[in-house]
Structure formats: C-alpha cells, structure tokens
Structure 1
Amino acid sequence: MIVNDPTHTQEHAVEVQIPFLQTVLGPDLTIVPLNAGDATPQEMGDVLRALWGGPETVIVISSDLSHYHPHEVARAI
C-alpha cells in the first residue's frame, strides 16, 4: 500500500458518505479512504485484512462508474 494524494484529489465519495456514516455510527469513527485503482483482488484483500479490527469494523465500498465522463454522457448512461 502506498500513499498517493493526487489519486484522492478528484475523488469525492468519502466526503459524500461521511455524514451518513456519522449519523449511523456516531461522530467518533475512524475512516481510512482507499482508492483501489489498478490494484489486484489479492492486493486489496491484503489491505482489507491488515485493516480488519474485528466485528466492530465496517467496510464501505463505493463506485462512481461515470466519474470521468462529461455530464451529458454520464446522464445518458
């Protein structure tokens, strides 16, 4: 796992999800934002296993399939 701040620059899923997560889980949660990029399933599994703390751990997966399309194209998809 590497830290790559530019990959998070255009990503907004975490900011959208935080208010919902805080409402359900409380304000004192710890969030680890990850962008999978071109990581293999094995690499992602390794990272998730390393972060797993037990039954109190929640993993939220989000996908923005039209993130890089212009607005007109995204609306048509």
Structure 2
Amino acid sequence: NEGFWRTPLGDVEVDGETANKIVREARIVDVDDSAHRYEHSIEVQLPFLQYLFGSAFKIVPICFLMQDLHSSREVGQAVAKVLAGKNALIIASSDMTHYEPQKIAEKKDLMALKAVEAMDEERFYMIVEENRITVCGYGPIIALITAAKALGAREAKLLCYKTSGDVTGDHSAVVGYAAVQFTK
C-alpha cells in the first residue's frame, strides 16, 4: 500500500493514502505484498499507462483472491466511495475463456460481455458460473462494474474482442481478450 512498482520504463508510485482508505473501507481488503508476487495482471498494464502519462500518475494495485459476488461488490463499493470526486481511472485486467475452441470461446465470452455492457454484475457472475467460463479476473470485473455505476457511469461499450487464435491462426484452443470502456 506504499512504495513503488518498478518497470522497464521507470518507477510508478503507489498512492498510499488512497490505498489505506480503501483498506479501511472494505473489510475484505488486506495489505499483502505477496499477493502480487505471482500475479502479472497489474504489471502488464503499467507500461501502457507510463507510455501515455509518463510518471505523472499514482496507482492503487488491488489483487483478488476471493472473487465471489458479495466480496467483489464490497471492493467495488469501497473503491467508489474513496474515489468519489477524484480524477481517477479504474482498470480491471483479466483474460476471458482459456483453451477452448474459437467458436465456443467466442460464444461464452460474448455472452458474458453482454452482461458487462449492460453493467449487470450479478448477471455477469451468473453467466460465468453457469457456463463455467474460465475468466481469471471475474472478481475485478464485478468490482469495476460496481464502482463504475456508483461513480455515475451510464454506458459500457465493448471496444474490441479477439482471441489468441486471431493472432496465431490456431483456433483449436484459444484464450479470449476484450476491452470494455465505461463512460459517464
């Protein structure tokens, strides 16, 4: 909840004040640096942000262990409460379906992404569970939807959906990727 994250483009400062407020606001959130040791979803976003903004930003990295609907909503509500009135960007990083044939992955992922576009975190969670969609970070996505709605987002738009098969040409076992933008 304090310090820096080091990337090839330089250090990114952790916003300790905001991080501590989120920890106090959400009972489910703990300070645990080891949670980030084997999880890469945050660090892969940082070079993109550094390219766009240089070092003129701070981060509050949150890694999820418990991803049930209630816990994820609690994190989203805490983030929204702490960020209210601030100029902030919330990013949830996750891939979608893992290692299924292209057509099956697309069907599952687009079904889940429709719920994201509808900003319906409960429906998203149910679709992921009922269809056994292997999306790694469904908890952060639920937290993002919850926070975005609480902060006044009115629209979620799917910007792009692709799979690893679109790059490699091998559609027998793909991983899905999507970009969704939430706006007020």
- TM-score normalized by the length of structure 1: 0.67
Deviation of 1:49 after TM superposition, in Å, equals: 1.8
Please list, as runs of the form range in 1=range in 2, the aligned pairs for 1:29-68 lying within 5 A after superposition.
29-39=57-67, 40-52=71-83, 54=85, 56-64=87-95
Quick check: 1:18 aligned with 2:46?
yes
Query: Is contact 1:7–1:35 with CA below 8 Å preserved after alignment?
Result: yes
- Secondary structure of the corresponding residue to residue 60 of structure 1: coil
Large movers: runs of 4+ above 3 Å:
64-67
Show structure 1 runs of 5+ residues with no match: 68-74
Alpha-carbon distance in 1 for matches of 2:52, 2:84? 19
Distance 2:92 2:44 in 1: 13
Describe the superposition over 1:2-53 as per-residue Cα deviations: whole angstroms up to 9, x where unpaired. 1122211101122211110011223121011101221513311233124415
Show structure 2 runs of 5+ residues with no match: 1-28, 99-135, 137-171, 175-184
Aligned to 1:72: none
Higher RCO, 1 vs 2 (CA within 8 Å, ≥6 residues apart): 1
Residue identity opposite 2:65 in structure 1: G
TM-score for the superposition, normalised by structure 2? 0.32
Q: Which has the higher strand share?
A: 2
Contact 1:36 1:44 in 2 (8 A): no
Alignment partner, residue 70 of structure 1 = none
Q: Is the 8 A contact 1:14 1:33 kept in 2?
A: yes
Sequence identity percentage:
34
Structure 1 residues 49-73: Cα deviation after superposition (integer angstroms, max 9, x where no partner): 2441536200011014557xxxxxx
